[in-house]
Structure 1
Amino acid sequence: MGGWGKGRGIIFMEDVQKQQAKIAMPIDRVGVKGLRQPIIVRDRESGIQHTVADVSLSVDLPAEFKGTHMSRFVEALEHWSGDLDYTSFRTLLDDIVVRLQARSAHVRFVFPYFLRRKSPKSGASCLMDYTCRVDGYLKDGKLRFTLGADVPVMTVCPCSLAISDYGAHSQRAEIRIRTRFHGFLWLEDLIEIGESAGSSPVYSLLKREDEKHVTESSFSNPTFVEDVVRAVGKGLADHPQVDWYTVEVESFESIHNHSAFAVMESQDIE
């Protein structure tokens, strides 16, 4: 029998996805990724910020079903408000669970978040972008919500500085912060905790007097990758809204053909 039929002027289409799977094994997540969606994010200085997110949407799939209905993910996103906060995120996940008749759903938004930064000496102003992300996992009506930011910093090697007659090797490092929290947590808080942990923040725009200041101040504050991850961990542990965190710091070494990294994770509250 074909995938569709016709009777009394009505076209009937077979629901192939609901057919029995040949291999009856459950799938943890099945869905779509690579969607692009305009979103509105809370901005501490301006109130709101408009940006664009890369979106992934998925659900669990029981063993007996052959497939899921991929178009329903896009329909759910189309009907979503685009306002990236806890309430609207929960609404999107609830809608996906209903549309896909699923037990659990996962949504991920990865987006650039822009802050205006002033150079340390000249005061020259320029936008800096930070890769941020929101993950939501809804299962049996319970939502787990994770907020994160990737923060670039500069690090100067303490060992190199101590043993060298001239200078020391320095490099850019990336701090990847993921948190769960209660109340409201600003992305700016995560970014500031990260930027304060390195030898120096990095900037989009530096004049000569700024470069001199950044170089000299960073060499007076050398940091191992271990120092950076501990400083970020302490900053998050001390934050009144943060309940759980994980931090990874990757140092893109300038004199080695590899990266150095360190990871810390707090005790899970659940």
Structure 2
Amino acid sequence: MNAPENIFLPDVQASLDERNIVIQKVGIKSVRHPVTLQTQTGTQPSVAMIDMTVMLPSNVKGTHMSRFLEVLQNHHEPLNLASVKTMMVNMLNRLEAEEGHLDLKMPLFLKKVAPVSGVESLLDYDLHIKAAFKDGGLKYTLQVQVPVTSLCPCSKKISEYGAHNQRSHIVIAAELTEDMAAEDLIKIAEQAASCELWGLLKRPDEKYVTERAYDNPKFVEDLVRDIAVALEQERKVIAYEVSSENFESIHNHSAYAWLSNDKRNRH
């Protein structure tokens, strides 16, 4: 009997396809895998949901799905622009492809200090890294979803006392020319809000955040515009999308705003 490694197994995926149709994205989707994040305070372990795809030429029948997992299993560097670029290069080389996409979604936990009591706690944020390689260039986008508090300026203006507020989700997707920490984008979102959030608050902190939001009312339109102003000043950001969904406390629907800008359009 022949040893298993000596048995000829045909490579069906590499055979010729005569339909002459290019597939722009083919690969693996929704792979849950441990990763390491590069943060401003060091590295942090996380678990990501990952999509990895490449372009398949019109004359090739199929891609080699196992090779995507090989690339992922062999990647041990903390995630940032440089290491994601390395992963992209390794994937394209291993799959013998000219175009590819990487999509990684994971939670990021940051330690926060309550504004009055100083008590420490963790707050979770959604982090999304998107990379696309085409025509010899890499497009790298860092996206964060940031929970904040927003307080309605109209409600404050027309009411004798009080004003309705709500929790909001701000999403910033920034296309970068250089590496940028997720914390920097999170800070931009939190500074634009009526008030930021903390995981743990004592009574003096609750008083602070209530009064802070009341003194800093923001429409959903204000949120995205103020963030856009800040992103315009960031030289590492070449293009961006910003959205905010305010989960209304006096309605059974959300208020929503979205904007985008590509700084390259100025030239």
Same fold (TM over 0.5): yes
Aligned counterpart for 1:116 among listed residues 111, 114, 118: 111
> Which residue number corresponds to residue 157 of structure 2?
162
1:82-136 CA distance string (max 9 Å, x none): 3212222222111211222222111112122221111111111101111112111
> Which residue number corresponds to residue 221 of structure 2?
226
Question: Does the 8 Å contact 1:175/1:249 carry over to 2?
Answer: yes
> Which residue number corresponds to residue 25 of structure 2?
29
Question: Does the 8 Å contact 1:160/1:168 carry over to 2?
Answer: yes
Q: 2:163 aligns to what SS in structure 1?
A: coil
Gaps of 5+ in 2: none
Which deviates further from its counterpart, 243-252 or 32-41?
32-41
Which deviates further from its counterpart, 19-28 or 206-215?
19-28
Residue 72 (structure 1) shift: 0.9
Aligned counterpart for 1:215 among listed residues 201, 210, 218: 210
Residue 204 (structure 1) shift: 0.6
Which deviates further from its counterpart, 236-245 or 121-130?
236-245
> Which residue number corresponds to residue 175 of structure 1?
170
RMSD: 2.0
Map 1:193-212 onto structure 2 (within 5 A): 193-212=188-207
Residue 227 (structure 1) shift: 0.2
Aligned counterpart for 1:73 among listed residues 49, 58, 68: 68
1:175-202 CA distance string (max 9 Å, x none): 1111122333121111110001111101
> Which residue number corresponds to residue 145 of structure 2?
150
Q: 1:33 aligns to what SS in structure 2?
A: strand
Question: Does the 8 Å contact 1:38/1:82 carry over to 2?
Answer: no
TM-score by length of 2: 0.90
Q: Distance in 2 between matches of 1:260 and 1:211?
A: 25
Q: Distance in 2 between matches of 1:208 and 1:76?
A: 50
Map 1:1-270 onto structure 2 (within 5 A): 10-21=6-17, 24-44=20-40, 46-269=41-264
Number of aligned pairs? 262
1:212-238 CA distance string (max 9 Å, x none): 111111011111000000111111111
Calculate percent identity across the aligned residue pairs.
Answer: 41
Q: Distance in 2 between matches of 1:63 and 1:13?
A: 24
1:25-48 CA distance string (max 9 Å, x none): 32221111222333232222x232
Gaps of 5+ in 1: 1-5
Q: 2:112 aligns to what SS in structure 1?
A: strand
